[in-house]
Chains A and B, each alone.
Chain A
Amino acid sequence: MQLKKKPIGATLAAATCSLLGSLPAAPAAAQEAKDWSIDTSLLYYGEDNGRVEDVSLMATIRRIFDEDRSLNATLTVDSLTGATPNGAVPANVPQTFTGPSGGGGYTVEPGEQPLDTTFLDTRTALSLSWQQAAGNATRWSVGFSGSDEYDYLHLGVDARLERDFNMRNTTAFVGLAYGQDDIKPVGGTPIGLSPMAGEVEDEDGDDDGDDRGRESEDSKDVADVLIGVTQVLSRRSLLEVAYSYGQSDGYLTDPYKILSVVDPVTGVPAASTEEGIPYLYLYEKRPDSRTKQSLFAEWRYALDRDSFALNFRFMDDDWGVQSQTAEARYRWNINDRSYLEPHLRWYTQSAADFYRTVLFAGDALPEFASADYRLADLDAYTIGAKYGLHTDHGEFSVRLEYYQQSPTESPGSAVGDLANLDLTPDMKAVIVQFGYQFDF
Chain B
Amino acid sequence: MDTNSTFDLTRDKRLWRIEFSAMASPCEILCETEDLDFARALGAYAAAEARRIDEKFSRYKADSVVAAMLESRGRSITVDDETAKLLDYGEMLWRVSEGRFDLTSGILRHAWQFEEATQAPDPQRIPELMRYVGWQRLQWAPPVLTLPAGMEVDFGGIGKEYAVDRVADWAARESGDPVLVNFGGDLRCTGAAPASGAWQVGIESLAKPGQPAKRIELTSGALATSGDARRAIVIDGKRYGHILDARTGWPAPGAPRSITVAAPTCSQAGSFSTLAMLHGADAEAFLRAENLRYWLLR
A residues sitting closer than 8 Å to B (CB atoms) are 2, 5, 7-9, 11-13, 15-16, 18-22, 24-33, 66-67, 167-169, 232, 234-235, 302
**A28-B222, A302-B195 known; A12 vs B271 contact (CB < 8 Å):** yes
Q: Is B71 an interface residue (CB 8 A)?
A: no
Q: Is B289 an interface residue (CB 8 A)?
A: yes
List chain A residues, Cβ under 8 A from B216: 30-33
List chain B residues, Cβ under 8 A from A13: 264, 268
Residues 139-176 of B at the A interface (beta carbon under 8 Å)? 162, 165-166, 169
Shortest beta-carbon distance from A33 to chain B in Å = 4
Q: In the complex the two chains form, what is the Cα distance from A302 to B32 in whole Å?
A: 14
Residues 272-298 of B at the A interface (beta carbon under 8 Å)? 272, 275, 282, 285, 289-293, 295
Q: In the complex the two chains form, what is the Cα distance from A51 to B198 in whole Å?
A: 47
Q: Quick check: A19 and B262 within 8 Å, CB to CB?
A: no
**Which listed residue, A8, A20, A22, touches B290 by the CB 8 Å rule?**
A8
Q: Quick check: B32 and A66 within 8 Å, CB to CB?
A: no
List chain A residues, Cβ under 8 A from B86: 19
- Interface stretch among B5-13, B62-70, B121-129, B235-243? B5-13
- Interface stretch among B49-57, B112-120, B207-215, B245-253? B207-215
Q: Is B263 an interface residue (CB 8 A)?
A: yes
- Interface stretch among B20-28, B72-80, B88-96, B226-234? B88-96
Q: Quick check: B92 and A11 within 8 Å, CB to CB?
A: yes
List chain B residues, Cβ under 8 A from A167: 10-13
Other than A2-B285, A12-B272, A67-B202, give 7 A-B pairs with Cβ distance below 8 A: A19-B267, A22-B169, A25-B221, A26-B264, A28-B218, A167-B13, A235-B34
Q: In the complex the two chains form, what is the Cα distance from A33 to B214 in whole Å?
A: 8
Q: Is B3 an interface residue (CB 8 A)?
A: no
Q: In the complex the two chains form, what is the Cα distance from A15 to B101 in whole Å?
A: 15
Shortest beta-carbon distance from B130 to chain A in Å = 24
Q: Is B255 an interface residue (CB 8 A)?
A: no
**Which listed residue, A19, A24, A235, touches B89 by the CB 8 Å rule?**
A19
Q: Is B47 an interface residue (CB 8 A)?
A: no
Interface centre among A5, A28, A66 (most CB of B within 10 A): A28
Q: In the complex the two chains form, what is the Cα distance from A132 to B264 in whole Å?
A: 34
Q: Quick check: B265 and A8 within 8 Å, CB to CB?
A: no
Q: Quick check: B262 and A28 within 8 Å, CB to CB?
A: yes
Q: Quick check: A28 and B264 within 8 Å, CB to CB?
A: yes
List chain A residues, Cβ under 8 A from B165: 16, 19-20
**A2-B285, A66-B215 known; A11 vs B10 contact (CB < 8 Å):** no
